[in-house]
Structure 1
Amino acid sequence: MDPFVGNWRLVDTQNYDNYMRELGVDFATRQVGNVTKPNTIIKLDGDNVILQTKSTYRNTEIIFQLDKPFNEHTSDNRDCKTVISLEGEKLVQIQKWDGKQTTLTREIKDDKLILTLVLNDVVSVRSYERESK
């Protein structure tokens, strides 16, 4: 988990509008989501992982333990059963709701945090750079 710990600033987004549309996010919210540049903060507190997303639009926080399912209320108002696992060098988050499933995979490549979001055949990639301390 240590490579993921830190403050990360969004620097690039690909196909995020289509991903949000596939989730069922309304037009107005997608417009805000397309221009918002959130920071992701990942911390460790004992066995707990704290994952925060902060932006001028909305802040979210989930606290979880690896491989233990939990209930997650997402920023787009979905109530999911979520599990997050460390699979090799990747942090894999699976959200399930209403018979649907999306996978969010975080990995470190070239000193960047790469978040790949997959729902059905829609793939979005968001890249983050580590904030200097």
Structure 2
Amino acid sequence: MANICGKWELTTCDQFDEYMTAIGVEEEKRKIACQVLGVGSKMTHEFSVNGDDWSLRIWTQSGEKEIKFKLEQEFDSATLDGRPVKVKFSKDGDKLIEIQKGATFESINERTVSGDELTMLMTGGGVTCTRKYKRV
């Protein structure tokens, strides 16, 4: 999974609004999210690993967020729209799996890397959003 380390910029996104609706994001926040987290927003993820310590930095038009974690250890966090969640990352073969559990939803986010492309499948409420990133 070391090939996930590095910086990734969003290039394509399918079913994002439908996914956000399915996990309970309010309409006004969905509109904002589509602008600041959608294609053309220059949204960037950067993964780094130092021993057992992982870091995910996310840059959006509305700011920056850093998440530090260890695989298989649940921690408290918040969705980008501010809702509290329990999060746990794990590896399954060549996939990095992130499970987010909120009060009213659960989202399973799978990330895989093929060459210079990272694919993220976000599944919640019966809807899957596919987001693709290029290495930068």
| TM-score computed with the length of structure 2 as normaliser | 0.89
Structure 2: gaps (5+ residues): none
* Structure 1 CA distance for aligned equivalents of residues 75 and 89 of structure 2: 9
CA contact (8 A) 1:95 1:101 kept: yes
1:129 and 2:106 equivalent?
A: no
CA contact (8 A) 2:74 2:87 kept: yes
Match of residue 30 from structure 1: 30
Match of residue 54 from structure 1: 59
The AA in structure 2 aligned to 1:25 is: V
1:109 and 2:114 equivalent?
A: yes
Number of aligned residues = 131
* CA RMSD, 1 decimal: 1.4
Give me the identity figure in percent. Answer: 27
* Structure 1 CA distance for aligned equivalents of residues 72 and 91 of structure 2: 8
Query: What's the CA shift for 1:100?
Result: 2.6
Match of residue 94 from structure 2: 89
Structure 1: gaps (5+ residues): none
| TM-score computed with the length of structure 1 as normaliser | 0.91
State the secondary structure of the residue aligned to 2:20: helix
CA contact (8 A) 1:58 1:75 kept: no
Deviations 1:75-95 (A, max 9, x none): 111211111001100000001
Q: Which runs of 4+ in 1 moved over 3 A?
A: none
